[in-house]
Chain A
Amino acid sequence: MQIRVETVQLRESSSQLAEVLARLDRVRVADDLAGVGSAFRGGQVAAVNRRVCGGWTDGLSALRGRVRSTGSALDVAAMGYEVLEDVARRALRGTSVS
């Protein structure tokens, strides 16, 4: 097994994903489509508008969830590598790992 990693960069990457998440929070397509139904009274657009808005809300929410979990995964990876390094270092130096 060969491991080369810079955990600071993993944490930096995770923090960049947190910024992405903040940007995605401001992307509210459903809010902007909500008024479209009233611009087209009594037609098909008005009929499907609720479903369309729901689709965007769910889709973007799911996307944010994936960004969030990816950021968490990077944090977990960084922490895991650090723990592993710590355990290995202590073991080899004869220090207790508990």
Chain B
Amino acid sequence: MSDLIASRPDQLSAAARRLEDHRLALLDAAGAVLRARSVALGGQVVGPATSRWSGPAATGGAARLGALATEITRIAGAVGVAGQALSHAGLRLVAGLAALERASEVAARRGARVTDLGAVILPARPSSGDAVLDAHEAREDALMRSEVAAYVLTAQRVATETDLELARLLVATAGSVGPGGPPLGTGERGVLPTLLPPPPATEGSAGPEEVFTSAAWWASLTSQERGQAIAEHPEWVGPRDGVSVADRDAANRVLLDRAESAATARVAALEAGGEPLAGERGAGRAPVLGMGLAERASALELNRGRVDALRAVRRVLARTDGARRRLVLVDVAGRQPRAAVAIGEVDSAPHVTTFVGGFTTTVAADLERHDTDLARLRVEAGGLASGDVAVVTWLGYDAPQVEEVASPSRTVLSGGVAAQGGEQLAAFVTGLDAARRVPPDQSVLAHSYGSVVLSFALRRPTGIDRVALFGSPGTGGAVNAIVDTGLKPGGFNVLGSVDDPVVAGGSVVLAPRAASVLGSTRLSTYAPGGAGSDGGRRTSRGHSDYLKAGSDSARNLAAIAADRPDATIPESGAERLRKASRRGSSR
């Protein structure tokens, strides 16, 4: 690391500029040789007389001068490649140094410092006397360590690879000078600097280290390289947590086009009697009739589902309500398509809220509805917040479906699906923080089984500032007290309507109830009064009414998104009594 700190990117840039001067001088020289050939052959008027030099000597002379011009032009090309390599290496080193600076900056925000060997020195942190606050500080320190380590490692990787790359190109260009030198093949990737590939992904979902490493990798690329990566390798960028949302959007739109073309083509091929591909066999839900027929029907269903989902994504992106949509995730490789669409500028908004859907949620059936609800919530939150609020509909996990209830690994009646989804959610929200210089205020609003997913995500260190679990069946054992989550006091909010059957009965299999989590804050979903009264308008009914316009629950969710705990409406004594009496009567 000390070698990187001592490196001089300015020297590389200065050398690159001087080499560019040399390249131009060589091209001038090549032009002068061609003019000299023209003069020798009499093609150019010199003095009063002109005559054409001809004969075998003239042919030989012309060839020799032509070859000389070609050689000088080739050497100019080699100088140009060396200059580009130096210039690029200079930019890469600047990026490497910026990564180290970022590591120091991140550490400094927590009162820590990074040594020349890349170690993090934390200040002594005496206990505050509040276990929840201490857990929060420990979570922030863990995140900081992950981020610092990622930036230090990336800086080292950038420096090492830049050094190797530059050495290779300098040797290649120097070796190409002279009549017997190997040709450079200018313009080929083997000669021009190669794009630094992304860090390898681990199997499954990314932990915070991997997310921060992705962010550091993206930050280490020049703007030209980022454009190149999006155009040539959108699959590196679109699904990668830690990359800025604007860049993910650009890459995902390319992937969306590709996925839609591929799925549409597969539907056409299967309808024409084509055979299912290996990955399509047994992936759909079609009933078994006869093996061949059922497999084709199943594959058709799978691909039609993909087309439906992708078209739903496209319709949401095309909405013209004045709010910009960004495609943060699109993935149809699995059994259920996954997608995430943001409204507003996630890369710059002071507040970012992520919504997590629940049981039976699919992109095809639910994305548009959730986007509509969240657009409305964003407006209400924007009226409360200082600064913009961006919202994300995150359908980024494979939500359990009705026909999977009997499947031990996929059933909604256990936390199995939520454990995996929680890791994906944790990586996603960590990525939103990691992609920004200063992390936004982040909240997550999770409905139904999505709240189980969120509970598992909270077991990982994330930058989530506060959450709301609404219509929750429970935490699936992932969270028993707010101290388990690393959230600050007041950060764990619960909303359950008085007649929501999932809230009332879900804890039978997914205990503990969210409202029972030690340190949770219960918020209002109910106000006394019949239908048509003010209380009726404020009350949410059943399991899917929490975002109803004008309701206490919608107001509370907006206040959480806006970081306005003072604007929330707490659960009233009347609501508590109603719930207690329902529980009593159901026993």
A residues with a Cβ closer than 8 A to B are: 1-6, 8-10, 12-14, 16-17, 19-20, 23-24, 26-29, 32-33, 35-36, 38-45, 47-49, 51-56, 58-60, 62-63, 66-67, 70, 73-74, 77
Contact = CB atoms under 8 A, between A and B. Distances in A.
B12 A39 contact: yes
Given A33-B82, A66-B68, A16 B15 contact: no
Nearest to A36: B15
Contacts of B177: 55-56, 58-60, 63
Interface stretch (B50-58, B392-400, B479-487): B50-58
Interface in B289-331: none
Contacts of A23: 25, 28-29, 32
B25 A27 contact: yes
A73 B55 contact: no
B202 to A, nearest CB: 29
Nearest to A28: B22
A10 to B, nearest CB: 5
Contacts of B89: 40
10 contacts: A5-B55, A6-B53, A12-B46, A16-B33, A16-B35, A32-B18, A35-B15, A40-B3, A42-B3, A44-B166
Closest 5 CB pairs of A and B: A59-B177, A55-B174, A13-B40, A43-B163, A39-B11
Contacts of B36: 13-14, 16-17, 20
Given A24-B29, A39-B11, A43-B3, 6 more contacts: A33-B82, A40-B89, A44-B163, A51-B174, A63-B72, A66-B71
B501 interface: no
- Looking at chain A's contact residues, is the secondary structure mostly helix, strand, loop, or mixed? helix
Given A44-B164, A59-B75, A32 B15 contact: yes
Contacts of B26: 24, 27
**Most chain A CB within a 10 A radius of its CB, from B9, B26, B40, B86:** B40
B178 A47 contact: no
Contact of B53 (A9, A29, A56): A9
A52 B51 CA distance: 46
Interface in B48-97: 49-55, 57-58, 61, 64-65, 68, 71-72, 75, 79, 82, 86, 89, 93
B58 A5 contact: yes
B383 interface: no
Contact of B75 (A6, A51, A63): A63
Nearest to A24: B29
Contacts of A35: 11, 15
B507 interface: no
Contact of B22 (A8, A29, A41, A44): A29
Interface size range of chain B in the complex: 35 or more
B29 A40 contact: no
A39 B97 CA distance: 13
A54 B46 CA distance: 40
Contacts of A3: 54-55
B81 to A, nearest CB: 12
B6 interface: yes
Interface string B1-38: 00100111101100100110010011011001101110
A16 B32 contact: yes
B181 interface: yes
A51 B177 CA distance: 13
B61 to A, nearest CB: 7
B55 A6 contact: no
A36 B12 contact: yes
Given A2-B54, A38-B8, A13 B39 contact: yes
B167 to A, nearest CB: 4
A29 B35 contact: no
Nearest to A18: B36
B33 A20 contact: yes
B42 interface: yes
Contacts of B44: 9
Contact of A19 (B32, B40, B46, B160): B32
B304 to A, nearest CB: 54
B47 interface: yes
A54 B175 CA distance: 10
A6 B167 contact: no
B52 A4 contact: yes
A40 to B, nearest CB: 6
A12 B42 CA distance: 11
A47 B61 contact: no
A19 B7 CA distance: 39
Contacts of B178: 58-59, 62-63
B171 interface: yes
B19 A29 contact: yes
Given A13-B40, A55-B174, A56-B177, A36 B86 contact: yes
